[in-house]
């Protein structure tokens, strides 16, 4: 093989993936490790990478404790009910007590936070959200990361983590390749913070053809947060907890500002409010504890998002679609109309373009909404990710093993999408988690926990052979056929992705089956996944760009297998509206008020599943 | 709405190639100009459009649901700290928007943490992050804790 090997040695902290979580980690690491070597490896360019690449129009997680608005425990309770009880409250409390300091720094750095003309305080969109002019949110935080890091390696697709050979279950760095030059990059590091992305495009999208990239979460969010960690044998949690979004049809433009700030509402094709009629039936499924509209109305306790989705899906299936967003009232106010448009231009330009292309002016007509295909991620309103240690002063024994945000692999930390059980972190919370992981990783090194790490040349060479295999495979077999992409000896990454999306959709509760699955379907799906994995050994890549897609696919497949295993394990329907287990259509607190934890044995590929206790914040006298 | 590149405006500088988060803007080997190699992996994030010094990149709505004939143009100016949008509907109507992108000179107000005073041992052993607790509270109080809030973590079914 002619690919050059480039070794970066003696790294203290390696940050894999620099979106909001990774930039937070790199920035903060410098404070706690002023003499440490901090390196970022990112598959794109950190100025515009990650889910916030095109900008954001709101920061969805800001407590405002300084102004007496909310306390950390208020946010924990909010996330708890929204996720039907299944969250890591230690991690959430920890994130919430730090998140404001990240936001105040953003403002100092130049991020334009809108002000409420009446109070002079930040412009609230909702209880937790503040509005920003965030087109340059990502370039601004990238600047902070660049100031702290010794080196930033852009365009390096990290494919695997390196493991220590002197001590079992300890990380030793990472490897990957440069998507431009093709060079093989080896990063030897004492600690690694995985801040890569969650998984879009593992379920078949509603769009077809060209529009397949018009997904809600970025198409470059390839599940690498999970692929890297699962492959290293890290424990995962709540991977069944995929999220389905109710969004503007086709463009998937966000609805938060519309509901919260513009005070818009939804109605069915007959112009009727439809949600409340589904509540009695739904109450029987989940229990009054989780759905009590009267309590919600009186106390501002939200109705869980999944349950509102359930009403949406059922109303459409009952033949009373489409569901419309009533924008015509709010948009008569020119200021609110401007907010509505800038909301899209600031974070989902595609929706603005779609409305322009279809002559939809929400001032004159009410746009359609839809429910999206499912996504697996851990920073927006759901909490898939690694089973991580919490902070020492908060976490109960089952949640604590030495270092904040460390996974079950020593020296391997997570932030953002990578950390499980911490929904509603969003951009600011992910950045905060990166900071927390960075401080803990520095401490891990200072405590002498990373001494004596050994990585053999064999491990490095074996991984090199593995990484470039799709290109070798292509060279060997391409000339067996005249031309074209049909070859009996290989599939290309797109063909593999299509197969994955189809089988996730049909067997794991995608959009074409109205989010329904059951034990039989899941077992068939898992069998097909095994065969897909065998075929991945025959994946072919024509060039470095396709090699990037090949490894993204590999990470998506590892993520998907974990989603299957977790969905099979949890024998209840915990989140109607996100997915349904048709064979167990009820929520079951007696047996399943627990967090699901998995581990895939890196050597055998076998899964083991366990239940972990679910702790909640209660008064000291309870 | 995937991106496309106008033949007569592109000079092959590669700014779009350098910035694209999806790695789909590449230079065509024959024409020595950029093009979108994989439209169905385009998120229409406009990173390349904003980065192009020649306004050579535009977007055309996704063929599967967007009719032809509209346009969304953007001008991002780091010097002025603004972003300007022009939305042109299929039927010819137009809307214009202007927003700030930063309130400070680019990158000047971000501290270099290698040069700030190093944290004390006491701070290292605490749960505090850089500039905390003063970046969280206005009073002299400490970081929030379960104890201060009168809370504990308990196993069981709570809503």
Q: Given this model, what pLDDT does residue B1 score? A: 52
Specify the residue for token string 């920890």. A94
CB A367 within 8 A of CB A324: yes
Calculate the CA A408 to chain-centre distance.
19
Contacts of B64 in chain A (CB under 8 A): 207-211
Kindly identify which residue of chain A lies nearest to residue B157, measuring between CA atoms.
A593
Nearest to A89 by CA among A386, A420, A368: A420
- Please, are residues A611 and A595 in contact by the beta-carbon 8 Å criterion? yes
* pLDDT value of position A1: 53
Answer whether B20's CB lies under 8 Å from B44's CB. no
Helix (H) or strand (E) holding A364, with range, is none
From the list A101, A110, A352, the residue facing B104 with the nearest CB is A110
Nearest to A52 by CA among B153, B17, B8, B47: B47
**What is the nearest CA distance from A534 to chain B, expressed in angstroms?**
25
Nearest to A146 by CA among A279, A258, A38, A281: A38
Q: How many residues does chain B have?
A: 159
Q: Which of B43, B62, B106, B144 is catalytic?
A: B43
Q: Give the pLDDT score at A258.
A: 86
Chains A and B form CB pairs within 8 A to the count of 294
Query: Cβ–Cβ of A136/B101 closer than 8 Å?
Result: yes
For residue A167, give how far its alpha carbon lies from the nearest alpha carbon of chain B (Å). Answer: 27
Per-residue tens of pLDDT for chain B, all 159 residues: 599 999 999 999 999 999 999 999 999 999 999 999 999 999 999 999 999 999 999 999 998 999 999 999 999 999 999 999 999 999 999 999 999 999 999 889 999 999 999 999 999 999 999 999 999 999 989 999 999 999 999 999 998
Q: In a mutagenesis test of the A interface, which of B69, B104, B129 is the best target, namely the one with the most A β-carbons within 10 Å? A: B129
Contact A395 B153 (CB under 8 A): yes
Asked if B20 lies within 8 A of A143 by C-beta distance, the reply is no
- For residue A219, what pLDDT is reported? 97
pLDDT of residue A426: 97
Check whether the bond before B133 is cis (ω within 30° of 0). yes
Q: Considering the entire predicted model, what is its pTM?
A: 0.98
Instruction: Give the integer Cα–Cα distance in Å for A20 and A13.
Output: 17
Closest CB from A34, A439, A613 relative to B129 = A439
> B42 near B22, Cβ under 8 Å?
yes
Asked whether A387 and A167 are in contact (CB, 8 A), the reply is no
CB contact under 8 A, B99 and A346: yes
* For A301, nearest residue in chain B (alpha carbons): B159
Phi, psi angles (nearest 5°) of residue B76: -105, 130
Nearest neighbour of B40 by CB, restricted to A30, A213, A353? A213
Chain A nearest CA to B9, separation (Å):
22
From B26's Cα to the closest Cα of chain A, the distance in A is: 10
Q: Which residues of A touch B70 (CB under 8 A)?
A: 353, 356-357, 359
Question: Quick one: pLDDT at residue A257?
Answer: 83
Q: What residues contact A145, with CB distance under 8 A and at least 6 apart?
A: A18, A22, A23, A26, A27, A40, A46, A152
Nearest to B119 among A31, A109, A341 (CB): A31
CA B111 to chain A, closest CA, distance in angstroms equals 8
Backbone angles phi, psi at A230, to 5 degrees: -60, -45
Going by C-alpha positions, the residue among A517, A592, A603, A606 that lies closest to residue A561 is A606
Chain A residue numbers with beta carbons less than 8 Å from the beta carbon of B59 are: 353
Enumerate the residues of chain B whose CB falls inside 8 A of the CB of residue A393.
127, 145-146
Q: How many helices (H) and strands (E) does chain B have?
A: 4, 8
Residues B106-143 pLDDT 10s: 889 999 999 999 999 999 999 999 999 999 999 989 99
Q: Are A311 and B63 in contact (CB under 8 A)?
A: no
Give the H/E segment covering residue A483.
Answer: none
Q: Rounded to a whole number, what is the largest CA-CA distance in chain A?
A: 76
For domain B1-67, give the fold. Alpha-Beta Plaits (3.30.70)
CB contact under 8 Å between B87 and A341, yes or no, is yes
Pick from A104, A107, A134, A356 the residue to mutate for testing the B interface (most B CBs within 10 Å).
Answer: A356
CB contact under 8 A, B149 and A396: no
Distance, in angstroms, between A326 CA and closest chain B CA?
21
Ordered strands of the A594-600 beta sheet: A385-386, A236-237, A594-600, A607-613
Determine whether the interchain pair B135/A101 forms a contact, defined as Cβ–Cβ distance below 8 Å: yes
CA-based nearest distance B6→chain A, Å: 19
B70–A210: do the CB atoms touch at under 8 Å? no
Residue A57 phi, psi (nearest 5): -105, 0
CA of A620: which chain B residue's CA is closest?
B151
Distance between CA atoms of B61 and B123, rounded to whole angstroms? 53
Give the residue on B whose Cα is nearest the Cα of A210. B40
What pLDDT does residue B153 have? 97
Minimum-distance CB partner of A53 among B47, B93, B118: B47
User: Would you call A394 and B145 a contact, using CB atoms and an 8 Å cutoff?
Assistant: yes
Residues of A in contact with B106 (CB under 8 A): 110, 143
Chosen from A29, A121, A349, A360 to mutate, greatest number of chain B CBs within 10 A: A349
Structural domains in chain A, CATH included, are: 5-54+135-197+377-446 (3.50.50.60), 250-371 (3.90.700.10), 469-591 (1.20.58.100)
Contact check, Cβ <8 Å, B63/A209? yes
CB contact under 8 Å between B144 and A48, yes or no, is no
Enumerate the residues of chain A whose CB falls inside 8 A of the CB of residue B155.
Answer: 396, 613-616
**Partner-chain contact A213 B85, CB within 8 Å:** no
Active-site residue B85, yes or no?
Answer: no
Contact B64 A85 (CB under 8 A): no
State the 10-residue block means of pLDDT for chain A, 622 residues long: 91 98 98 98 98 96 96 97 98 98 97 95 95 97 98 98 98 98 98 98 95 93 98 98 96 88 92 96 96 88 95 98 94 89 90 92 93 97 98 97 97 98 97 98 98 98 98 96 96 98 98 98 98 97 98 98 98 98 98 98 97 97 88
Probe site for chain B from A90, A94, A110, A587 (most B CB atoms < 10 A): A110
């Amino acid at each position: 093989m002619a690919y050059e090997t480039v070794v970066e040695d003696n790294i203290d902290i390696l940050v894999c993936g620099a979106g909001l979580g990774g930039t937070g980690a790199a920035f903060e690491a410098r404070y706690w490790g002023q003499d440490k070597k901090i390196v970022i490896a990112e598959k794109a360019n950190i100025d515009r990478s990650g889910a916030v690449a095109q900008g954001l129009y709101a920061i969805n997680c800001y407590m405002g404790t300084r102004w007496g608005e909310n306390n950390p425990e208020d946010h924990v309770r909010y996330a708890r009910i929204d996720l039907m009880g299944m969250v890591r409250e230690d991690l959430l409390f920890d994130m919430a007590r730090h998140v404001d300091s990240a936001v105040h720094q953003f403002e100092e750095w130049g991020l334009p936070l809108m002000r409420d003309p009446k109070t002079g305080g930040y412009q609230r969109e909702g209880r937790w959200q503040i509005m920003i002019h965030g087109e340059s949110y990502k370039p601004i935080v990238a600047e902070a990361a660049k100031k702290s890091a010794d080196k930033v390696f852009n365009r390096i697709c990290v494919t695997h983590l390196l493991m220590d050979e002197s001590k079992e279950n300890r990380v030793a760095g990472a490897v990957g390749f440069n998507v431009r030059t093709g060079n093989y990059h080896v990063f030897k590091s004492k600690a690694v913070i995985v801040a890569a992305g969650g998984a879009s495009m593992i379920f078949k999208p509603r769009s077809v053809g060209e529009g397949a990239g018009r997904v809600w979460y970025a198409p470059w969010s390839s599940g690498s947060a999970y692929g890297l960690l699962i492959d290293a044998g890290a424990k995962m949690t709540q991977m069944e907890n995929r999220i389905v979004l109710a969004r503007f049809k086709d463009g998937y433009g966000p609805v938060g500002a519309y509901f919260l700030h513009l005070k818009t509402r939804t109605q069915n094709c007959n112009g009727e409010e439809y949600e409340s009629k589904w509540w009695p039936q739904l109450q029987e499924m989940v229990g009054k504890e989780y759905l009590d509209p009267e309590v919600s109305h009186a106390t501002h306790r939200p109705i869980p998002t999944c349950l509102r989705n359930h009403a949406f899906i059922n109303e459409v299936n009952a033949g009373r679609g489409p569901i419309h967003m009533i924008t015509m009232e709010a948009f008569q106010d020119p200021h609110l109309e401007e907010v509505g448009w800038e909301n899209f231009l600031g974070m989902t330009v595609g929706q603005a373009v779609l409305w322009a292309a279809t002559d939809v002016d929400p001032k004159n007509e009410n746009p359609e909404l839809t429910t999206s295909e499912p996504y697996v991620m851990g920073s927006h309103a759901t909490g898939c990710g690694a089973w991580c240690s919490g902070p020492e002063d908060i976490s109960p024994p089952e949640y604590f093993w030495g270092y904040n945000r460390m996974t079950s692999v020593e020296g391997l930390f997570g932030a953002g999408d990578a950390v499980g059980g911490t929904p509603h972190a969003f951009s600011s919370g992910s950045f905060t988690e990166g900071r927390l992981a960075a401080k803990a990783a520095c401490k891990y090194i200072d405590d002498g926990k990373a001494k004596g790490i050994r990585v053999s040349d064999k491990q490095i060479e074996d991984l090199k052979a593995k990484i470039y295999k799709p290109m070798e495979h292509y060279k060997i077999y391409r000339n067996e056929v005249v031309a074209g992409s049909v070859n009996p000896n290989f599939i290309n990454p797109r063909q593999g992705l299509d197969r994955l999306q189809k089988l996730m959709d049909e067997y794991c509760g995608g959009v074409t089956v109205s989010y329904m699955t059951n034990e039989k379907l899941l077992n068939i799906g898992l069998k097909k996944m095994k065969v897909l994995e065998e075929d991945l050994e025959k994946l072919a890549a024509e060039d470095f760009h396709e090699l990037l897609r090949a490894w993204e696919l590999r990470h998506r497949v590892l993520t998907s297998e974990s989603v299957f295993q977790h969905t099979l394990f949890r024998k209840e329907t915990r989140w109607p509206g996100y997915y349904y287990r048709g064979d167990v259509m009820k929520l079951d607190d007696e047996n399943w008020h627990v967090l699901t934890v998995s581990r895939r044995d890196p050597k055998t590929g076998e899964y083991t599943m366990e239940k972990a206790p679910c702790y909640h914040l209660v008064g000291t006298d309870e | 709405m995937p991106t496309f590149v106008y033949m007569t405006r592109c000079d092959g500088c590669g700014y779009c190639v350098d910035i694209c988060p999806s790695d789909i803007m590449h230079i065509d080997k024959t024409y020595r100009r950029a093009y979108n190699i994989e439209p169905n992996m385009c998120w229409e994030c406009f990173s390349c459009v904003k980065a192009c010094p020649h306004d050579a990149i535009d977007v055309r709505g996704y063929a599967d649901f967007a009719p032809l004939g509209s346009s969304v143009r953007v001008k991002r100016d780091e010097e002025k700290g603004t972003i300007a949008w022009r939305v042109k509907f299929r039927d010819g109507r137009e809307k214009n928007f202007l927003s700030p992108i930063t309130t400070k000179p680019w990158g000047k107000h971000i501290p270099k943490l290698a040069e700030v005073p190093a944290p004390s041992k006491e701070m290292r052993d605490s749960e505090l992050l850089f500039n905390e607790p003063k970046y969280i509270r206005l009073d002299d109080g400490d970081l929030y804790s379960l104890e201060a809030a009168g809370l504990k973590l308990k196993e069981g079914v709570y809503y």
